[in-house]
A and B are shown apart, each in its own frame.
Chain A
Amino acid sequence: MSALRPARAEDALLGVAPRHVAEPATVEEAVAAMQACARDRLRVAFVGGGTDLGLGAPPRGLDVVIRTGRLARVVEHAPADQIVVAEAGLTVAALQKALAPHGQRLALDPPFPERATLGGVVAANAWGPRRTRHGTARDLVIGVSLVRADGVLARGGGKVVKNVAGFDVPRIMVGSLGTLGLLATVTFRLHPLPEAAATLRVDGPQAASVRTLVTGMRDAQLEPSSVALHAEGGELTLGVRFEGFGPGVKQQCERLSALAARAKLEARTLSDADAAAFWARHDALCTGGAVRARIGFRPASLGEVMNDVVAPLGRALGGGAAVDPAVGSGAVGGTPASAAVAIQALDRARNAIRAVGGSLVLAEAPPEVRASVDPWGPPPPSLAVMQRLKAQLDPEGRLAPGRFVGGI
């Protein structure tokens, strides 16, 4: 296997330091590393680009961190079939760079593409503003190979988009945060790069008028690739992006402008530079702050969520939020004056979003906040099944023990 090196301070996961770090350069080396961990019953966690390490609870203990950054090959790109097989440590940006000359892309656009790895994006279920149209990793992953806790390399799914042979191991891995196995390779379906794109911005809408615009777009059968609502300093800004072929993008921009006008708002088409700035701001809002939460809610509850969750939490944290009002997902973050303020605001926000059927999980927080706020919230009704799934795939509980929902 690849040599173990002693861990350094930056190898700690949520403050828990491993003793050793392995950096396998091939899938075989990753298997060897996992077998060694199994043999010595070592507790192990996986780190890709380290962009979502704030998710979950600190592991109960950690012996080894396996960094996947050297597993960075494109294994197979079949442009005519619009699929790619890549090692899990490849970054999103490196993959996009390899795909672009073929006029294709992975329709996932999480923040920090230069660092975020494919395995990390799948494990942390990271997403970006194109979620509106293309969904999350769950909608794009078609195959995985994973190294199980017992060091066995197993595959699930395949290389074709349409495939119902066997249980859906790839989708089960999405969001499992490294608690079920080490992703070695990931296979995605790809999409064509759009010929044309345009972003429109609506400044200063109320939450209610945003909801009207979102349902208006749906009723007008528009197909935006991104709908993003930014909340900063009590002000809302809505950005809508259309992608596709020129005539379709142009027509949809005109229709959105008309819809906005009907709601007494102005939708301005942004220059390329302004559009880039808007989407960069989006990434910043999704990743900024010492305290950050991810939220999920029913799109129809947007009004309640903006008023009772996003606004008070953003205020308390002294930061902002980016929300997809069409999907019902978002991130709220900031750097609060004190831990006590953050704890109280997070509790209230969680209660408020749960009251409308949504959820809030911690994505980033200092130890003093974590000490008082469960990163996942109350466990889901199916926790017992989740615990049994964990026990089946990691019977000794060695993979990031305690990091996941309900202490899994």
Chain B
Amino acid sequence: MSVQADLDTADLARRMAAVVGEPWCLSDAASLSVYECDGLSHGRVRPRLVVLPASTDEVAGVVRVASEAGVPLVPRGSGTGLSGGARPVPGAVVVSLSRMKRVLEVNLDDGWIRVEPGVINLDVTRAVQGRGFYYAPDPSSQSICSIGGNVSENSGGAHCLKYGFTVNHVLGARVVLDGGEIVDLGGPAPDSPGYDLLAALVGSEGMLGIVTEVTLRLLRKPEATRTFLAIFPSSDEAGNAVSAIIAAGILPAAIEMMDTLAIHAAKAATGLAWPDEGALLLMDVDGPEAEVVHTSSRAIELARKAGALEVTVPRDEAERQLMWKGRKSAFAAVGRISPNYMVEDGVIPRSEIAHTLREIGRMAAEAGLRVANVFHAGDGNLHPLVLYDARNPGEEERAAALGGEILRLCVRLGGSITGEHGVGAEKAAYMAVQFGPDDLDTMARVRCAFDSEGRFNPGKVFPTPRLCGEKPGPYVPHPAEAAGLAERW
């Protein structure tokens, strides 16, 4: 780094520290290294500074300083994202929202809660469960991921099959835009007039502004939940069971599937007495008692008809939690059967499950690698875990290539390159597989409406950096455009 750049950073640090306070502006190498990546640990980039504001006003102050200095900002929640969405770009300041973790207001009469973005997903439910309410979106990382991150990624979870995604549960948000302007979107009353900017914000991967408050819908806990676990000879029969259950008009709260390799991993981690061969479905049905009794027995009947070898209904809540623990810990558990692995996230039409798993098996064999499949079968959201050993030369590259091929397969089948982990830095190139230039152009225009300078989280989602449309007046090429680094549109 040049002497000039160091001076600029020191000056920037002073100005940022004046906003957030000296202890909350990090500039030493050891502190910065923590923020080089999120849950996706390769492709690290050291940020220029990290700031930890404590209020909306401080966030606005940080954004003003960055706007004046022309510095990009990378918002960050708990850093659990799996697509490099919180990975810095060179020269960027990371804005960590982890100090903003207050619950601001609970209104159970209307059924909502207003929180700061650093509040942990599960803590929302914890704040209201004593009175019979909960927050529905439940990503597997819910005990550590933040609401702000959930809003950025439009997080789902196992139970979004019935209850929808973050976007279906965010009623309002306060957001700081480039230049430091504070804007409120939506609110507790439905149908506020105007464009649905809240829908644009949720899932925008931190590229439109920095969210500093979120109003979330709370649901009453369902009266009854029935869980069962079914073992099938192979993922073919398990996939068919999923189709049969859905075709019968049953909308389960969750249907999760694990293949043989994933079962091995979960057993190794939890000591569950699951079988060694075949595929497993874990299903929740919830709702009013009589409805649940009826639909769960129908679903079990259909699972048996589809070839289930064994169906287990948990004896009590503890056993149910253990089954779910086996599922939710599956990603980490794969670490027990492979030195390294990559988590993929793609979506296929659910009728293609059996076919896709066979195809993935074939592709993996061809690449000389193993793939464990743990996924949300009800909505066709695959999480293939590509296992590899980084010590073997070339294996990591082959694993990455196989992951990419799986994403292409998802798109060919009419699906998506991401169901819940987001595009981030990791999959930006694959956006061009799923969308054409005009589709991407339309999305980028939405971004320009919020952030014409590309201040927030640059380098994510879009495969090519682009500039926002011309301003009125004579045409002047942007320096980046002239240098061939970006294209105008």
Q: Which residues of A contact B (CB under 8 A)?
A: 78-83, 103, 125, 135, 138-139, 146, 148, 152-156, 158-169, 171-172, 174-176, 180, 191-195, 215, 218-223, 244-252, 255, 294-300, 327-329, 357-359, 361, 376-377, 379-386, 388-389, 391-393, 395, 404-406
Contact = CB atoms under 8 A, between A and B. Distances in A.
Interface residues of B, number: 95
B381 interface: yes
A221 B184 contact: no
Contact of A389 (B292, B293, B298, B449): B449
B379 to A, nearest CB: 4
Contact of A392 (B109, B164, B220, B469): B469
A245 B291 contact: yes
Contact of A162 (B188, B298, B416): B416
A219 B469 contact: no
B189 A298 contact: yes
A280 to B, nearest CB: 24
Interface string B197-208: 101101110000
A382 B249 CA distance: 41
A405 B196 CA distance: 12
A103 B248 CA distance: 9
Contact of B191 (A294, A300, A383, A389): A294
Q: Residue among B154, B376, B427 with the most chain A CB within 10 A?
A: B154
Contact of A405 (B189, B194, B348, B440): B194
B187 A357 contact: yes
A139 B442 contact: no
Contacts of A406: 194
A392 B445 contact: yes
B79 to A, nearest CB: 18
B472 to A, nearest CB: 10
Contacts of B292: 248
Nearest to A194: B249
A7 B83 CA distance: 52
B46 interface: no
Contact of B442 (A156, A163, A174, A405): A156
Nearest to A381: B184
A386 to B, nearest CB: 5
Given A162-B381, A218-B220, A391-B449, 5 more contacts: A168-B154, A169-B439, A176-B196, A180-B195, A298-B189
- A-B CB proximity, top 8 nearest: A248-B291, A296-B191, A192-B249, A171-B199, A221-B223, A251-B290, A80-B351, A389-B449
A139 B163 CA distance: 10
A124 to B, nearest CB: 12
B251 A191 contact: yes
30 contacts: A80-B351, A83-B349, A152-B441, A158-B434, A160-B380, A161-B379, A164-B156, A164-B420, A165-B423, A166-B461, A168-B167, A168-B199, A169-B446, A171-B199, A172-B199, A218-B111, A223-B287, A245-B249, A246-B294, A248-B287, A248-B292, A251-B290, A298-B188, A328-B189, A328-B190, A385-B450, A388-B452, A389-B449, A393-B445, A404-B194
A152 B189 contact: no
B221 interface: yes
Nearest to A361: B193
Contacts of A192: 248-251
B145 interface: no
Contacts of B469: 392, 395
Interface in B143-201: 153-154, 156, 160, 164-165, 167-168, 177, 181, 183-185, 187-197, 199-200
A163 B247 contact: no
Pick from A163, A175, A195, A361 the residue with the most CB of B within 10 Å: A163
B288 A383 contact: no
B222 interface: yes
Contacts, number: 267
Contact of B110 (A165, A247, A300, A389): A300
Contact of B183 (A382, A393, A405): A382
Nearest to A193: B249
A283 B57 CA distance: 47
Nearest to A248: B291
B188 A357 contact: yes
A77 B177 CA distance: 41
A152 B438 contact: yes
Given A162-B381, A166-B423, A245-B295, A221 B288 contact: yes
A249 B290 CA distance: 8
A251 B132 contact: no
Given A172-B199, A382-B184, A405-B194, A165 B291 contact: no
B350 A80 contact: yes
A144 B455 CA distance: 28
Interface in B364-416: 376, 379-381, 414-416
B364 to A, nearest CB: 23
Contacts of A135: 168
Nearest to B298: A245
A103 B249 contact: yes
Nearest to A104: B249
A247 B189 contact: no
B80 interface: no
A135 B228 CA distance: 29
Contacts of A245: 249, 291, 294-295, 298
Interface centre among A172, A191, A297 (most CB of B within 10 A): A172
B435 A155 contact: yes
Contacts of B192: 296, 359, 380
Interface in B275-315: 287-295, 298
Contact of B195 (A162, A220, A252, A386): A386
A176 B200 CA distance: 13
Contacts of A299: 110-111
A135 to B, nearest CB: 7
B351 A78 contact: yes
A247 B196 CA distance: 39
Contact of B414 (A159, A218, A252, A386): A159
A385 B449 contact: yes
Contacts of B438: 152-155
Question: Which of B156, B189, B349, B420 has the most chain A CB atoms closer than 10 A to its own CB?
Answer: B189
Given A382-B184, A385-B183, A162 B420 contact: yes
A172 B195 contact: yes
A176 B287 CA distance: 34
